[in-house]
Chains A and B, each alone.
Chain A
Amino acid sequence: MSSAVAEAPLPKPSLIQSLSVARSESVDERAERAQIDHSMRGPVLLFIGAAIAWLLIGSLLALVAALKFNLPNFLSDGAWLTFGRVRPAHLNAVAYGWAAQVGAAVALWMMARLSRVAARHGGLLYVACGVYNFGVLIGIAGILSGHSTSVEWLEFPRYASIVLFAGFSLIGIWSVIMFRFRRTGHVYVSMWYILAAFVWFPWLYASANLIIFYLPVQAAVQGPVNWWYGHSFLGLYFTPIGLGAAYYFIPKVIGRPVHSYYLSILGFWSLALFYPWIGMQHLIGGPFPAWMISVSIVASFMMVVPVITTSINHHFTMKGYFDALRWSPTLRFVVFGALAYTLASVQGSLMAVRSINEITHFTHYTVGHAHLGLYGFFSMTMFGAVYYIVPRLVDWEWPSSTLIRWHFWLSGIGVIGMFSVLTFAGIVQGLALNDAKISFLASTNFTLPFLWLRSLSGLAMTAGHVAFAASFVLVLLRSGARQAQPTLLGSAEIDPTPA
């Protein structure tokens, strides 16, 4: 990075100027990559740091919740550590504290890079980060102190959800400003995904909260609203950000354009068309009109279109370059995430089939699916993205390859183990639940050994997170000897021709 470029004075338009209808071209200079990274350094590192803190807290809560399956008296003296509070606290800490936040950080950085302009109004992002994390903090504290709403994925008390919404809205406003003043004519597919996610999430979150808590619909209708939100949160926020990152980092790391750009655009618009209809399949067997559930089942199957297009695209972009997985940490995590995306999506479509859902519903199978999607796909992709972004922001290479490798293998083996164990246990549990000759107690007792394995898998993932956090702290401290040609300065001297 050229320090002269990085420290060049940046034009500073006012927020009013950026939001006004009339554009001021004088401040629209196309920026160098180094200048862009310099302008994004503070906000993105702050978001990533906060996200990692929540990842560690969420992992700890997960371990406590998992151990309680086998050791029900473990940490049960105080009400705030009972399973009914720790489990939703874990879910919300990793979903809103870690995943949504690291997704925002990665998306913000990509947004600036793809816009080819230095960040405007970085202060807005600092405020957004502070407000958002305050919302998550009082939300988790609210859940642990017994103020959970008990609506899955929306457990944060009302006083926390409104703060969280305000924080995220600021991120959305900043993104729209960046998009408006971008210096690239073409909107790259990742930017479509990011913009959509930043619009969809506030819309989903506000709508679901309003309809369930502020202007409550009849009780029976709250279930569909709940699952429309719960599933859309995964599909209309995490999925677009994860796919947007994969479409950026895979081609960027190997130095090859995406195999079929046409397919990538088709994938985006078909996701936008089909995903909002999904969610009601969670209520198969519930007291709802059959057509409502059928619509979601059909939409689940139509999701095959974006999933297959994306999978084909990722595979053929990587074809001949799989050797690169040996030398690129980013690629290793992102490709793992892309594979998990395909698997989780196909599995999700199959789970919407009524006859399959009858078996998997109310079992550990669903939990395995959720971990494959939110962790195997999304979190692994985000880990890879962070490994690419942070050295470019702090102007320092990661201090230890070993820590990165440990992180990859612990997280990878952990999530594969958890998915496998819960999938098998869930199927047998579901078959047992549907067998009138088998008591409920027997169907539950059968799963106990698998729940130990689940805790063990969670322990491996948590150890991976500790390695990740250690790497992050060390690189912030600029620990270790500086590499002669760090990743951000040099480019790999590897034969770019396909193996």
Chain B
Amino acid sequence: MDITTYLFIASAIVAALGLALGALFYAARTANLSNFEAGSAVIFDEREPIGQPTDAFPGTPGVFRSR
């Protein structure tokens, strides 16, 4: 291996580590690593709230309700 290859491998490792640490730091700084359970509800909203299933086989009798 020549020096170019070593340099490439070293920089790839440093870049990967840097990205991972950066992401972890960002997560901590933006409070993504605290108050975990509140985060689990972000996929729901007023149109599709908690407690409301959102999928069924097409044409399932009695499954759907008009809005």
Which residues on B sit within 8 Å (CB–CB) of A78?
none
A252 with B48, Cβ < 8 A, contacts A203-B12, A215-B5, A272-B20 known: yes
CA gap between A260 and B4 in the complex, in Å: 46
CA gap between A292 and B48 in the complex, in Å: 49
Which residues on B sit within 8 Å (CB–CB) of A215?
2, 4-5, 8
CA gap between A329 and B55 in the complex, in Å: 8
Chain A residue with Cβ nearest B4: A215
State how many residues of chain B have any CB contact under 8 Å with chain A: 48
Contact between B57 and A188 (Cβ–Cβ < 8 Å)?
Answer: no
Contact between A255 and B37 (Cβ–Cβ < 8 Å)?
Answer: no
A327 with B36, Cβ < 8 A, contacts A248-B43, A484-B64, A496-B52 known: no
User: Does A217 have its Cβ within 8 Å of any Cβ on chain B?
Assistant: yes
User: Does A14 have its Cβ within 8 Å of any Cβ on chain B?
Assistant: no
Nearest CB of chain B from residue A480's CB, rounded to whole Å:
9
Interface 1/0 per residue, A187-215 and B, CB below 8 Å = 11110100110010001000100110001
Contact between A256 and B30 (Cβ–Cβ < 8 Å)?
Answer: no
CA gap between A253 and B52 in the complex, in Å: 8
User: Which of B12, B44, B53, B55 makes the CB contact (< 8 A) with A257?
Assistant: B44
Interface 1/0 per residue, A159-199 and B, CB below 8 Å = 00000000000000000000000001111111010011001
Contact between B64 and A490 (Cβ–Cβ < 8 Å)?
Answer: yes
The SS class assigned to the B binding surface is loop
User: Which of B16, B32, B60, B65 makes the CB contact (< 8 A) with A203?
Assistant: B16
CA gap between A192 and B45 in the complex, in Å: 20
User: Which of B8, B16, B30, B43 makes the CB contact (< 8 A) with A211?
Assistant: B8
Interface 1/0 per residue, A457-480 and B, CB below 8 Å = 000000000000000000000000
Which residues on B sit within 8 Å (CB–CB) of A404?
57-58
CA gap between A254 and B51 in the complex, in Å: 7
Contact between B52 and A255 (Cβ–Cβ < 8 Å)?
Answer: yes
User: Does A89 have its Cβ within 8 Å of any Cβ on chain B?
Assistant: no
Which residues on A sit within 8 Å (CB–CB) of B39?
186, 188-189, 261
Contact between B40 and A210 (Cβ–Cβ < 8 Å)?
Answer: no
Which residues on B sit within 8 Å (CB–CB) of A253?
53-55
Chain A residue with Cβ nearest B47: A33
CA gap between A361 and B23 in the complex, in Å: 37
Contact between B54 and A492 (Cβ–Cβ < 8 Å)?
Answer: yes
Contact between A328 and B57 (Cβ–Cβ < 8 Å)?
Answer: yes
Contact between A489 and B5 (Cβ–Cβ < 8 Å)?
Answer: no
The 21 sampled A-B contact pairs (Cβ below 8 Å) are A33-B47, A188-B42, A203-B15, A216-B5, A217-B1, A252-B43, A253-B55, A255-B44, A255-B49, A262-B37, A329-B55, A397-B58, A401-B58, A485-B64, A487-B56, A491-B53, A491-B67, A492-B56, A493-B62, A494-B63, A496-B53
Q: 3 closest Cβ contacts across the A-B interface?
A: A485-B64, A261-B40, A490-B64
